[in-house]
Amino acid sequence: MPMTETVRDDGVHMVTASRAAAELELRRGEFALAVHLGIIRMESQESGGRARVRQEEIARLTSQDGFPETLRERVRTVGTAEGAGLLGVSPVRFARLARAGCVTPVAFYLNRYRVVVWLYLAHELGQLASRSPELLVGNAPPWLRSRLDAGMDCRARNWRSRRTELLLALAEDPWARAAVVAEALDPVQLAEVVDDPYERAYFARVRPAPVFGRGGSPAGREAMAKLMLADEPDEILWRRITLGMELDSARELRPAPRPGEGRWPASADDPAISVEPDRPLELGEGATERSDPGLRGGRHAPSARERDAPDAQQDGAQGSGGQARADGGGSGVSGLLTRLRLRRSRGSRRPRRAVGGGKGKPLATDTRTRHSLHHVDQGSHR
């Protein structure tokens, strides 16, 4: 089985986005746009991994008539020059129609001069030509001229509204829906609506992730962050009201997690323990015992000194005919010697002091240890 394919417990075959895009003969941008528009359905993994596509979904799309041309046509985007050619107007007139809000962008990119270039769906431009042919010929209507004379540019705002509507249609979790709406508010506006910092932090965890992960250049991500923010008073007010409604629905379902409420795994590499993806992993008060990764079957995890002294534990296990424990649990002279050796191997807070010295002479331990060994030797001779 290829590395990009997985099989769930119910026998459903799932493939990654890259594998699905190759089988559907789509470029990465076309595939991401198809998912964004709801043409291709992706499913999130139960383990919290990146979303994947069912093999049945790929078979459904490849069995349609005219594949792959029909699928590509549904996600084909054009810029200003190509869009003007499709409508039969000049690029200047097309740009005026876009700024007035007659056509809505679906995506954008940065050119070599870091200028935002808006992209439009080709089939929507054909719908505009059939729906409003008067916008393509003759003088512009008064309402359109008034918008342009006022310096209005609706492209970024319409793109934000469209993006929010599409993401809300794909999001099922109320907290994810609230996170989508919150993206359009700056930190100050967001803090005024959502005063709980844990809820604001939770938005970043449940916000829908891009299809292929976070990518693009730093300049592109910076432009994306700027275009995401609402910049007009009526749009900001609408976002605040919508966020309040979505937040009320999310709070009724479940509260935002607090530090220390998440379940910790017994081990970082233990596949039998699963961590809930929507829970924080911070350690809070009262969670030390249950969240100790060294607890296995009720046994205490070895301390740092015990892990750093394997030789001492082996010596203790060999004392008194193999009956003495590593902690010096033996009796008599052997048990005392075992405890002394284990104490020396674990390390004492008192630094070793050289006794005697000189070239070729060994260094003895401190005075207390030497006296103890002396008494032990005398007792053994007796």
Amino acid at 165: E
pTM of structure: 0.66
Of 136, 49, 120, nearest to 87 by C-alpha is: 136
Beta-bridge mates of residue 109: 117
Question: Is the backbone of residue 321 left (phi > 0), alpha (psi -120 to 50) or beta?
Answer: left
Of 41, 379, 50, nearest to 212 by C-alpha is: 50
pLDDT tens per residue, the chain (382 residues)?
Answer: 444 566 665 667 899 999 999 999 999 999 999 999 999 999 876 655 678 999 999 999 999 999 999 999 999 999 999 999 999 999 999 999 999 999 999 999 999 999 999 999 999 999 999 999 999 999 999 999 999 999 999 999 999 999 999 999 999 899 999 999 999 999 999 999 999 999 999 999 999 888 887 777 888 889 989 999 999 999 999 999 999 999 999 999 999 998 877 543 333 332 222 222 222 222 222 232 323 333 333 333 444 434 444 343 333 433 334 443 334 444 454 555 555 555 555 554 444 444 444 444 444 444 444 444 444 444 444 4
Of 114, 253, 236, 139, nearest to 184 by C-alpha is: 236
Within the chain, how many helices (H) and strands (E) appear? 18, 6
Amino acid at 83: G
Of 345, 349, 334, 348, nearest to 310 by C-alpha is: 345
* DSSP state at residue 300: P
> Which tokens is 76 given?
């084909």
Q: Distance between CA atoms of 41 and 336, rounded to whole angstroms?
A: 70
To which H or E segment does residue 14 belong?
Answer: strand 13-15
Residue 37: HSE in the Cβ half-sphere, 13 Å Cα cutoff? 19
Domain boundaries, the chain: 5-74, 79-153, 163-253, 306-381
Distance, CA of 350 to chain centre: 48
Q: Distance between CA atoms of 222 and 224, rounded to whole angstroms?
A: 5
pLDDT at site 51: 84
pLDDT at site 16: 92
Of 6, 262, 219, nearest to 113 by C-alpha is: 219
